[in-house]
Structure 1
Amino acid sequence: MTAGNEPAPEPGQNQFSTRGFIFGRVVPTLILAAIVSAAAVLLLVWSTREADRFATEGQRRLFNMAVTDMTEAIAHEQESVTFWDDSVLKLRDGTDVEWIDGNLGSWLSTYFGHDSVYVLDPENRPVFASEGTRRLPPQVFSGVAAEVLPLVEAVRALRRKADPSDIGEKMDSVGASDLAIVRGHPAIVSAKPVISDTGTIGEPLGQEFVHVAVRYLDGSFLENLGERYLFRDLGFVTDTSGIASGLQSFALADDGGTTLGYFTWRPMLPGQAVFRNLMPVLAGLCAIAILGLCLFLWLLYRRSAALSATEARMHYMALHDTLTGLPNRAMFVTRLERALRSSLSGPGGTALLYVDLDHFKRVNDTLGHPAGDRLIQEVGNRLQRLIRETDTVARFGGDEFAIVMAGVTEEAHVLHLCERIVDSAREPFSIEGNQVFIGVSIGYAIAWSGGPGRNELVRRADVALYRAKSLGRNRCVVYTQDMDALLQERRRIETDLRAALRAGGQLAVYYQPIFATRSRVLTGFEALLRWNHPERGAISPEVFIPIAEDIGLIEEIGGWVMAEACRTAAGWPGLTISVNVSALELRDPSYASRLAELMGNAGLPAERLELELTESAMIDSPGVHAETLQVLRRMGVRLVIDDFGTGFSNLGRLQSLEVDRIKIDRSFIQALGRSANDAAIVRAIIDLAHATVLETTAEGVETEEQNAQIDALGCDSVQGFLFSEALSREHACALVQARARDAAPEVRLCGPVGDMAGPG
């Protein structure tokens, strides 16, 4: 079986029961619609009640605000005549009653609407009384004395206290006011002292006249309040029994909390008005919604068969890869388990092949992701053509494929399929007018009758694939027991590497000198990391650096090496220090700032630091990676391509790389004298580098013959065992000191310098 056929509809799948549809879809939907409609009505009722409650509370606050404002207004209006030298003099004289009435009595009634006015002498005897514009005998004060005298005494006490804080911000003198029932009317009573406004008339405290103003709240006050705030049927009652049905009330209380009576009015209820206006609209909307719902249910009933087909299609998509149409991981698991069950009851076994494309990322990076997708499709087509009808090829995502072979009788059949897949992948793929060459790595495992289960078989195939990649790719490898030992070895290295970082003392930085090719003058060093395991001895960086990148330790290790190298090189004036940097480190947006801080702490100028990166790290540098490289160049740090010629780029790409130096890979140097092609490649690299103002360094120079050819080709600098192995810090410092003693020391070949070398 190949990609797996779409499942055909089962008999009766598109036949639907009307009764089942009604009770399964229509009835629950209508019940839900009824519940939603009822909830909408209840919500509207609740919101209207809340709106009415808020409106009523607002009207009560208006009453309170109106009474408070009126109380403050009366006191302020009194001050217009009580805070006046003329009033003090006229009251002391007491003979000009017409003036007193015109200014302290009837004028307040005519202009401000005060209902009653009383003036008391220092012994609280009434000397003047008026009601409206009528002057009355002072003796009428006895009818209101009980309500007024406590306020008068409060005013005299405030005057004797003489505390400026008792005078309000808007007032010029102290005063007292309260609510009371005066002559059967709810009223505001306000008392103010009659005092000098200029301060030129002296008078003992407590010996001033007191002016009392009364403003009734059940007459013109209610009329004005109703007109201003649109209160309907506004009135005043002394007890709750007088409140008619449908009216709201506001309790009027004095400062002592005693209720004097109730303002009543017919409230404005906007919520009820809104409810009356919205209810027909809501009913119409509900009717439209129900009709629309019925129409929807009818369409749903008509299209049930189409929906069933769509569900089948969705089921197919859930089990197949959208790009290639191959089974995905979910179907792969089902097919594998079915094959394993069959192997238990029948002859033969089950083979599982993991297929991974080699260098697939380079296709994406050079031709774009659409080309990569097209390549994946072509690979899937080739795999389908190679397998049997009973086999299954699946795609897990990315460039990973898996093949399940059921009924395997001989391992040779599996090996034959693997070889055909490898050979097929070597044939070029035509993608968008480009010929693309890739390879495949295959790891496979076989479960014979009674063999491992699904999880173990998957693990074994994965282990075999890892082994195929580690052996150089483009091959197939069958799982063997010793591969587990290799994985265990890798895990031990991971554990020991973590322990080495925690304990310290095992990792060390060594320094390989770099010399000018022609003069053999020391120009700098390359920092190299060495791991001296206490039990295993020296472990090659080619072993533990990839592991450090896989397990996320490369940034910690790289930071430590960079710090050690910068601190050491800071004491080597005029020499450069080259440090290898992983592409994973450059993905950190803060890498450049941390490096700048590290160089500043070490005292190393940026132009003396060279960062060595692989070709792929320079070319495959999107997003943050590319921004980090730009920041490093602006800082003055030099960028170097390490092992140039081994990556996926060509010489033409060299012109677009913003670097300062390239290091020619040792494989080309070691082939000098044996291969004319390699010599031509080295010459082309050097010539193109010089044409683009780049420096060149030859790695791995081991013989005088190689050095002579490098010199003849014009390479700028060299490094290798011919000149010196990697040196410990102490021996590297000794070499620098020897250079300082002699501006151009003679370089001896691996003699005394070589004796100083640590682990190479």
Structure 2
Amino acid sequence: MNEGPNSSPLTRQVTLTVLALAAFALAMVVGFGIYATAQADHVSLERQKILIANGLKDQIAAVQREQESVTVWDDSVTNVKAGNEPWIEENLSVWMYTYYGHNRIYILDAANHPVHAMRDGKVLAPAVYGEDEPELQPTIQKLRAMIAEPPKQEASAGPAKLVAADLVSLGGKPAILSVMPLVPSSDRVTQEPGSEYLHVSVEFINDAVIARIADQYLLDGAHLLSLSQPVGSAAVPLLDSRGIILGYLGWDQERPGLTLVRKMGPALLIALLVGVGVLAFLLRRLRRASLALQTSQDRAQYLAFHDTLTGLPNRALFDDRLRRTLLFASHDAARVALLYLDLDRFKHVNDTFGHPAGDELVRQTAARLRQTIREIDTVARLGGDEFAIILLDVRDVRSAEDVAERLLQKLCEPFKLVDDQVFVGASIGIALSSGPETDADDLLRKADIALYEAKKNGRGRYQIFAGDMDDLLLRKRKVEAELRKALTGAGGIKLAYQPVFAADGRTILGAEALVRWGHEVHGALPAAQFIAIAEERGLIGELGKWALLEACRFVAGTKLPWVAVNVSPMQLRDVGFAEQVASILAETGLDPSRLQLEITENVLLENNDTVRSVLADLRGSGVGVVLDDFGTGYSSLSHLRRHAIDKLKIDRSFIRLLDEDDKATAIVKALIELALALNVDVTAEGVETDAQKTLLVGMGCHQLQGFLLSPPLEPGQLLALPALSSGGAPDWTAARA
């Protein structure tokens, strides 16, 4: 009984010690939790501030891009200086409000006097400009000073963009101000330096603008705070160029640390009630769970920003790094070079060795790129065989070219794939930042355009972006896309047929198939224009196959003795072209003797073994080969003898002068006699008068083609001609004689 009192203090001491240790441990955990929560919330808040600031910069850049769409325009210069008020209202003021949401537009003349004013879609008297002039004048003067300065540009970049922007307060409301001069978009319109009218655009930082920024970065409760309202930690100031605060952008702060603590609160409460042992158990479980969660988050974040095949940054991380790089470069005047690269024979490797070999090629390419560039630079895989490289602190164009040359040299070395050596090579497009106004998307677009030019000019090379590439490529890409659509039967592309007549002007010997494209917007497009684009963009094979198939299918069901189809030099350089022609003839059931393929003299001048072999195979199968536009190129008798042509077509440029120029008459007579001496047929194209027809028949030319006899006809119109609409089976032998 005496041990009770003695044990009680010990028990209490042990209990107190355990409780003290437990309390100390709990206090440490709670204290660490509070600190970690505060740190997480602080880091998150700083990130949110950066996102809001970036969003505001993006919005300012968007206003400038929108404004530039109407200020760099011939029509803007001419109509504003002519005082065409309806045009100005429709294109430069009300339209900017309706389409882009610009709240106020002022047009100033060369003396900065207002000639037009618009507020919230309503055109007002120009005098209202005076209400806003004190706030707008500094930025306007800044732009005038920029215009007065001599133009500065480097060899690799286009002319500097003339724009002055700032944040201003109008009527107590902060707004984005952008001022640009109205300048021509082409050489067709000129204006004296200093005579430029100015386009002043104001977009208030209202709920719609703030909502766009908030939606872009997934921030909740974004709102505008005036100077008189209390400002919390989740807010960034709106500063003008003088550092004056015009207001604040606030939002509902994300608190990941506090959210985590709230979720863990019940578990901690249970741990306290159960005891020290349960608390220790829960703490251990919590640590393991936190570690697993962090590992999972790290892995998910890595996968979200890296390419799984190569481990390189993916497009998302590349876009972020490029924007940040350009942002930092704008502060220290360093230039940034962007290299856009893709492999030249990647599809061939995939088709030949399979997709696993293609994946291995991509991995080896990524490794070589990493080895070639500096650690401070970034190489990313954008998809497929496309890579992008960000070069920091580039001194000049030559520095970027040196890197491109090293990359090309490295990628020209053989790759080891499937126990075999494969040679691939690459093409590179290069674009350099031109100053603090450089936009990431625009820089990437320029590099992409330069890459296209590199591939067009022969592959295995690099190309620096030049300003004139932009509009030309956009037009060509639009025509290319519409031509691809047209070849599927959805775009108005078709064949017309111009008959070839005998000397009597009535007997039809055959017809030439001509590609016609009735564009739904631009009407009939010149064949030479879209065929040149098809050759340049790699569509000529598809277009030529379509024309050949359509012509053979049509003629096979008619009495027409033969049809002539024009063939591109690129088709003749394809070793499989003769087999393609044979396949089409078999599919349509057309006799080879009823098909003639028209080529140009330039093809013969190439002296290409493939071309020579293809022409020999075509003639061996019974298909006729016609030399088109004869006499306009570098004609050579040796080429005619070597390739054994079946027919010569005298170009219309000689026929047109037959009854006007004795020299032209002598040339045509010599060409006809040459054809007769070579024992080949001869056709005169472009016959337009009876006098021309009489002279040609008298010289011995018995195949005539031209508007005098018939223009190009629709298939139905051709079949309706008397020579083809009569009954009975046609005599092909007589028709070809």
TM-score by length of 1: 0.35
- The structure whose Rg is larger is 1
Q: When the two structures are superposed, what TM-score results if normalisation uses the length of structure 2?
A: 0.36
